[in-house]
Amino acid sequence: MSLCVGGRPARTAIMLTAIAALIMLTPMLWVVILSFKDNASLMADTRSAFLPPWTLANYWSIVGEGQVFTWLMNSVIVALAMTVGVLLLASLAGFGFARLEFPGRRFLFVIVLLGLAIPEQAVIIGRHQMFSAAEMHNTYAALVLPGLSMPFGVFLMTQYFRAIPREIDDAARLDGASRLRIFWKILLPLTLPAQATLGIFVFFHAWNDYWWPMISATDKDMLTLTVGVAATQMNFAQAEGLGFLMAQAVFAGLPTLLVYLAFQKYIVRAVAGAAGQ
């Protein structure tokens, strides 16, 4: 249920939000329009974006980069594997921290929370050295495994498991359900909005990750889309090829947007319809 269902305040609020959305949208529309312009005319004057001719040439340049579909596949594999892995690990750990008692639980949880504060810059060299020692650079494992340690997922899932009323598991326990069963059959489905949120977050994080994939995957067959596409950028002589860059942005951003659209119905379920059922 929303803050203001029906009535004038609701309409005012949504109108204001719609106006804000238009302001949000302006730079994005600009990205899209620029992506259909040829680079030379943009360099002379970016305002020429609003005048024809428009062209698909920038998109052809991306697609014509023989490797781009390999990179796309790599990104899909890495992002999916990381998403599934984090969801699984974080759900298990979140349930454990929120619902079970075992020695050292609080201490472990505090340590994991502290882990949230570790910036990537503080660990990246160490990770790089470890994967070098294991000769594991340029593998999917090297691209996926570091992401699985993300404490954010555990933090999020613990919060959501805690928010579920205790009575639900108590009732199930009285029925003689095992912990695994309570977790899997009863509580997990209730965390669907959180799962979807975390899934989107992880997928998007994996997709846009630049720094680690750039130094770990250096074989051109192992590049992710974000890194591969960034490298196709021209040198200074072509003055950054503005339209080309924008086409790259649209091309690389579209898959994550689609994932969001696919997941958002789980984040906001049929509020009105579900009420009272």
Partner 1 sequence: MRRMLALLPLALVSACGNPDARTELVIQRFFGACQAEYGAIADPGKAQGECGIITAMINEFEAGNPDIKVVENTVFWPGYDQLTAQLAANGPPDLVTMHSSAIPDYEARRLLEQLDEDLAAVGISPEQFTAAARAGVTVDGKVLGLPIDVWAPLWHVNMNLFREAGLAVDGKPVLPASPAEFRAHAAQFRQRTGKPYLIQITNKDFAAPTRIFYAWMLQQGVPLFRDARHANFDSPEGRRALEFMKALYQRGDSARNLDYAGAVSAFLKGEGGVMVDGTWMVGQFDAASGNERSPLFRGYAVRPFPFLFHARRVALVDGHNWVMPRNARRTRAERAAARRFLQYFAANDFQWARTGHFPAFRAVIDGAQWRQLPHRGDIAAITQIGEPLPKFVRRQSPIEFIVGEEVAAAYTGAKPVDRALADMQRRANGILQSY
Partner 2 sequence: MPDVPAMRRSVTWNRWSGVLFVAPYCAFFVLMLLIPLGIGIRLSMTRGDLFGIEAFVGLDNFARLFADPVFLQAVWNTFCFVLITVPAMTVIGLALALVLNRTSRLAAILRAIFFASTVLSVTVVALIWRLMLIPEGGLAAVLARAIGEQPVAFLSEQALALPAVAVTTIWWGIGLPMVLFLAALQQIPRDLYEAAALDRASKTRMLFSITLPAIRRTIALVLVVEIILQFQLFGQPHLMTGGGPNNSTRPIVLFVYETGWKQWQLGYAAAAAQVLFALIALAAMAQYYLSSRKDAA
Residues 8-67 that bind partner 2 (CB under 8 A): 9, 13-14, 16-18, 21, 24-28, 30-31, 45-47
Segment (H or E) for 92: helix 68-99
Site string for partner 2, 147-176 (x = CB under 8 A): -xx-xx-xxx--xx-xxx------------
- The residue from 40, 105, 106, 171 that contacts partner 2 (CB under 8 A) is 105
Q: How far is the CB of 179 from partner 1 (least distance, A)?
A: 42
Residues 6 or more apart in contact with residue 82 via CB below 8 angstroms: 144, 147, 148, 202, 203, 205, 206
Q: Which residues contact 91 (CB under 8 A, 6 or more apart)?
A: 157, 183, 188, 191, 195
120 binds partner 2 (CB under 8 A): yes
Cα(166)–Cα(231) distance, integer angstroms: 52
Q: Which does 238 bind (CB under 5 to 8 A by kind): partner 2, partner 1, none?
A: partner 1
Binding region for partner 2 (CB under 8 A) out of 56-64, 69-77, 166-174, 196-204: 196-204
Q: Which is nearer to partner 2, 53 or 103 (CB)?
A: 103
CB 229 within 8 A of CB 243: no
Out of partner 1, partner 2, none, what residue 19 binds, judged by CB under 5 to 8 A for its kind, is none
Judge contact between 67 and 230, C-beta under 8 A: no
